[in-house]
Amino acid sequence: MLNISNNSAGMKNLIVRSTYLERIKPFINKEIIKVFVGQRRTGKSYLMYQIIDYIRKEYENCNIIYINKELNEFDNISNYQHLYDYVKSKSKKDKRNYLFIDEIQNIQSFENALKSFNAEGNYDIYCTGSNANLLSGELATLLSGRYIEFKVYPLSYKEFLLFHNLSNETSSLDNYLKYGGLPYLKNLKLEDEIVFDYLTNIYQAILFKDVVARHKPRNIEFLERLTQFIAKQTGTMFSARSIVKYLKSQNINISVNSLLDYIRFLTSAFFITKANRTDIQGKKIFEVGEKYYFTDIGLRNTIAGYSPFDLGLIIENTVHNHLLYNGYKINVGQSGNKEIDFIAEKNNEKVYIQVALRIPDKKTSMREFGNLLEIKNNYPKYVITLDEYTGVSYEGIKHIPLRDFLTNFE
């Protein structure tokens, strides 16, 4: 058995993702189940290790129970009764029991065991999953009011600098935009052949373990081609009907409903995320037209290929991910034929953001700043580009270099 509770030396070598740890601390020792969800390899397991390490240091009278369903030694725990029996065999009545379960969706009807542990008391429960539907349907009903969900994303740019021991300079940003933020990259040389070989394996694992094995789509070849299409069109506004029409021109026939199912499979694995289209004031969500972004830009570059010609969509995807990491709800703004890249909302406050590769001339400047000028409210408005110059604003709209945005905007 993996003896997490005594693995103190290994724990000390972990780089703490303090943003997540600070969000979780208020819920430690509360009778509410902590659930960490996110794409495969975004660091959910190591986040649990960090919590274990913190608990061991803060609470002497603790009993750590750890289960990782991706390890063979836990193959015999396949349903909620097995889970219940195993945990009870490891529990101690004279201590506070801290239960950690990695990839819990691989245990059939696990919610029944969690509900029982939570009702019995003396258990502080943490679990991870790589499926967006983990807390839907019957589970949400059974555990209603008894859990809190934390979405775990790839490394932010500041975390990327910390993990790779890099200074905040243009070359570091270039690496981040090319390779993305999967935490394991800290163990690899940041060279194209090495990194993209690793990312290709992760892409295949997500596609076949988290999408094909779980949802069993009929046409795997089409699933791969659809993923490539979205990668090459990242951040492009389109509808399911427009994709079907395009595919027919390529002699690929598929129904709108089937296409929507395949996209849903990819989003349920947290591989891609959807940004809905809304009116500029954010009061109406349009039913047709949305944008899709990759949870990790390195995986997007692995699928579509990394090209300087794609930098515009790459930085747009990166800004989108930074907003998600910081807890914003994101929509795409629309007013007539004009578009605002992001309407981001948190704590009932909004931010309007335009993203451009650069602003080389007055025409580009008027387009990017002009769309924001039409919004008649006092919420902050920003234009974000790769340009390095700072201190530029136009009628209250601020220009922020991407590197400054990723470093300072929360």
Residue 395 is predicted with a pLDDT of 83
226 with 96, same domain: the answer is no
Domain count, the chain: 2
Does residue 95 lie within any of the structural domains? yes
261 with 396, same domain: the answer is yes
Distances (CA, A) of 162 to 91, 183, 289, 301: 37, 11, 38, 22
297 with 404, same domain: the answer is yes
89 with 227, same domain: the answer is no
Does residue 351 lie within any of the structural domains? yes
| Domain stop point among 101, 120, 151 | 151
| Domain stop point among 96, 125, 151 | 151
Residue 4 is predicted with a pLDDT of 56
d(C-alpha 82, C-alpha 88), whole Å: 10
Does residue 202 lie within any of the structural domains? no
Does residue 197 lie within any of the structural domains? no
Range of the domain at 371: 220-408
- The sign one gets for the Cα dihedral 324, 141, 261, 211 is positive
Buried b (16+ CB within 10 A) or exposed e, 154-166: bbbbebbbbbbee
280 with 384, same domain: the answer is yes
Helix %, strand %, coil % of the chain (to 5): 45, 20, 30
Residue 57 is predicted with a pLDDT of 95
114 with 244, same domain: the answer is no
391 with 274, same domain: the answer is yes
Q: What is the CATH number of the domain that holds 60?
A: 3.40.50.300
Does residue 173 lie within any of the structural domains? no
Residue 1 is predicted with a pLDDT of 37
Does residue 403 lie within any of the structural domains? yes
Mean pLDDT (10-residue bins), the chain, 410 residues: 43 82 97 94 95 95 96 96 98 97 92 92 94 70 83 98 98 98 97 98 96 94 93 90 84 90 96 90 64 97 96 98 97 85 95 92 79 90 90 83 96
270 with 390, same domain: the answer is yes
d(C-alpha 152, C-alpha 154), whole Å: 7
Whether 298 contacts 182, CB under 8 Å: yes
Does residue 379 lie within any of the structural domains? yes
Does residue 210 lie within any of the structural domains? no
140 with 232, same domain: the answer is no
Residue 199 is predicted with a pLDDT of 98
142 with 228, same domain: the answer is no
236 with 379, same domain: the answer is yes
Residue 2 is predicted with a pLDDT of 43
235 with 325, same domain: the answer is yes
| Domain stop point among 132, 151, 170 | 151
